[in-house]
Structure 1
């Protein structure tokens, strides 16, 4: 079992940051997923989430800005493994222009109403379900909007 850490950023509209993966990754190629990846040896899930977000987007957040959504078991059919993903979220006053895409085709904020139409990775399908429309999602959206207010 491999452990992964991932992050959902929520903007002031309540839209969520997702990565459209390209054909190169071993897990979930050509699918929409979270920013994140496997934990390094001895790395905590929170530290891994902060590191992966910065590596993939150049967005640097303090660990206390991230809130645990949950830890989910996920089966990766591409590797035949049963793994665990630690999912974190943060409300941010950012736009697509603030995101630097270092992996995949694009990393953009997506309207939650549109996520059902996307070809999601297994981890995104599992993690987005309980998050979207939750009180946590609403609170993070509201906190991002408050940070954006003049």
Structure 2
């Protein structure tokens, strides 16, 4: 089974981009998660994160990606989660996969919407971290 990579992308208002998986998703349909997917053979997790973000949203982070954490998902399978910043606004997002792709403020993420298993903990940990504080501040300073 291949490793996976995901991206916690922070906009200028401190909102994080999340995807609503559609009914065709092979696992956890109709739940919210970070954009991402499986690593292709020969691809590093960081390359996967960039590729999946571009395929699913049409976006690229302004200042590259930084590793937030690694999580063992199953024996021999690891999730690699990166974070980055963007000047993009909601209207710049191109929905390439899923039912929706929205920038959500922290209070919107925790408003009772269904999160994919593991996503709630990952997002809560990120929001409480200095990485989120850095990303929100860095994204704010990207404003024109």
User: TM-score, normalised to structure 1's length?
Assistant: 0.88
Higher helix proportion (structure 1 or 2): 1
Q: Aligned partners of 2:46, 2:142: CA distance in 1, in Å? A: 23
Could you tell me which runs of 5 or more consecutive residues in structure 1 were left unpaired when the two chains were aligned.
76-80
Q: Aligned partners of 1:33, 1:11: CA distance in 2, in Å? A: 16
**Residue aligning to 1:106:** 100
The list of structure 1 runs, each at least 4 consecutive aligned residues, that deviate by more than 3 angstroms after superposition, is none
User: TM-score, normalised to structure 2's length?
Assistant: 0.91
Q: Aligned partners of 1:18, 1:11: CA distance in 2, in Å? A: 12
Q: Per-residue CA shift, 1:106-150, capped at 9, x if unaligned? A: 1010111122222001131232121013111011111111110x4
| Paired residues, number | 143
User: 1:1-150 to 2 correspondence within 5 Å?
Assistant: 1-61=1-61, 65-74=64-73, 83-116=77-110, 117-148=112-143, 150=144
Could you tell me which runs of 5 or more consecutive residues in structure 2 were left unpaired when the two chains were aligned.
none
**Counterpart contact for 1:16–1:111, Cα < 8 Å:** yes
What is the SS of the residue equivalent to 1:42?
coil
Shift of 1:10: 0.4
